[in-house]
Amino acid sequence: MYRLVLTLTASLCALPAFASETTFEQVKIDAGATLFETECRRCHAVDATGDSYSPPLENIVGRGAGTYEDYDYSIALEASGIVWTEAALRAWIEDNAGFMPGTKMRHVGISDRTVQDFILSYLVSISTQDNSAIAE
Ligand code: HEC
């Protein structure tokens, strides 16, 4: 009996810990995708194939601000010189107009940290290109 409990405990600790972490991240990405649909999609497509009134957000994490070629950015955004790190994106989602006065993105203002986390997880999931060279 004792050995059985030990064996069970050991296997519970080993495998599922990894599995549940993966699942947890996937749940965040899925929630973020839903939030993206309601909060961002009416203006932003993910990639250039989608209808987009604003710059597509594929590979946004690590991308220089205002660098999507086919989009006519505000001077404020284009001249900002910032790189879209997760921290910058969080500040932007929370209060884009306060973070960057002069931007032409209508004010978004999502102050709930959990909602920000979900949207960030989603933005990370659609950023598959390695932008590290640009980010430095
Ligand atoms: C009402 C339309 C609208 C909504 C809603 C909107 N955006 Fe934007 N977004 C814009 C516009 C317009 C720009 C370009 C701003 C500029 O040039 O100053 C922009 C720019 C951005 C940029 C900078 C892109 C770059 O290439 O530098 C990011 C990042 C961004 N938006 C993220 C989001 C996220 C995330 C959401 C949802 C939480 C969102 N936006 C919701 C219109 C919108």
The whole-number average pLDDT for the span 28-47 is 96
Q: Atom 1 of ligand 1 has which residue's CA nearest to it?
A: 106
* CA 43 – CA 51 distance, rounded (Å): 9
Note the pLDDT of residue 136.
Answer: 43
7 exposed, middle or buried (CB, 10 Å; 0-12, 13-18, 19+)? exposed
Task: Please state, in angstroms and as integers, the Cα–Cα distance from residue 112 to each residue in 44, 90, 115, following that order.
Answer: 21, 10, 5
- Tell whether ligand 1 has an atom less than 6 A from the beta carbon of residue 56: no
- Tell whether ligand 1 has an atom less than 6 A from the beta carbon of residue 35: no
Note the pLDDT of residue 135.
Answer: 47
**Residue ranges of domains in the chain:** 2-46+57-135
The phi and psi torsions of 25 (rounded to 5 degrees) equal -65, -40
Whole-number mean pLDDT of the chain?
87
Note the pLDDT of residue 48.
Answer: 84
- Tell whether ligand 1 has an atom less than 6 A from the beta carbon of residue 95: no
The pLDDT-based confidence of 58 (bands split at 50, 70, 90) is: very high
Instruction: Tell me the pTM.
Output: 0.85
Q: Atom 6 of ligand 1 has which residue's CA nearest to it?
A: 40
Note the pLDDT of residue 50.
Answer: 81
Q: Is the pLDDT of residue 62 over 70?
A: yes
The whole-number average pLDDT for the span 84-93 is 98
Q: Is the pLDDT of residue 10 over 60?
A: no
Note the pLDDT of residue 122.
Answer: 98
**What percent of the chain is predicted at pLDDT more than 70?**
82
Task: Count other Cβ atoms within 10 Å, centred on residue 70.
Answer: 8
* CA 23 – CA 77 distance, rounded (Å): 36
Output the CA 23–ligand 1 centroid distance in Å. 29
Task: Please state, in angstroms and as integers, the Cα–Cα distance from residue 37 to each residue in 20, 34, 45, 46, 100, following that order.
Answer: 26, 5, 9, 10, 24
Question: Quick check: 133 and 99 in contact, CB under 8 A?
Answer: no
Q: Is the pLDDT of residue 121 over 60?
A: yes
Which residues neighbour 94 within 8 Å (Cβ) at sequence distance 6 or greater? 109, 110, 111, 116
Q: Which CATH superfamily is domain 2-46+57-135 in?
A: Cytochrome c-like domain (1.10.760.10)
